[in-house]
Amino acid sequence: ILRSDLLMDVGDSLNPAIDIGQVEGAFTQGLGLFTMEEVVYLKNGKLFTTGPGAYKIPSCNDIPIELNVTLMDSTPNPRAIFNSKAVGEPPLFLAGSVFFAIKDAIRSARISRGHHPVFDLWAPATAERIRLACKDQFTEMAKEKMKNKYPEKKERSERWNVVP
């Protein structure tokens, strides 16, 4: 992600520096949710990805190179303390815009290769899912090899994130 510009309505900010930090943190957490933090189960039904030791969370190399946060002016909430609004949770879903930007980029790649522009992409949009969705010569060869090796297995996208 090269750049993200976020505009957040926090009402009358009590402390803009803290509010901007909350927006940045929640957006980063959302990046993890929509692009990295895959839920994986073992065959026995036990959750494999029980913590950050078993799945990737965003680090300094995963956040936008340029992250701009602007707080809206003059949007008070007269029913709240000091006209404030929620700031910690709403920006989490702003990261959904990154997921849809990735999906749009995949769509463009598919069209340029002559593939159908409509496809499924489940969150999180991991590097593996992105590569497979782009459908290039290597992913097609790998898919064919796996089908021949494990004919009884369903495609990964049809299973419920079960590790073989």
Catalytic residues: 89
**Bridge partners, residue 47, by sequence:** 41
Evaluate whether 71 touches 19 at the Cβ level (below 8 Å).
Answer: yes
DSSP state letter for 137: H
CB of 95 closer than 8 Å to CB of 37: no
DSSP state of 94: G
Please state, in angstroms and rounded to a whole number, the distance separating the CA atoms of residues 92 and 4: 13
**Beta strands 3-8 and 66-71: pairing type?**
parallel
- Greatest distance between any 2 Cα atoms in the chain: 65
Cα distance from N-terminal residue to C-terminal residue, the chain: 32
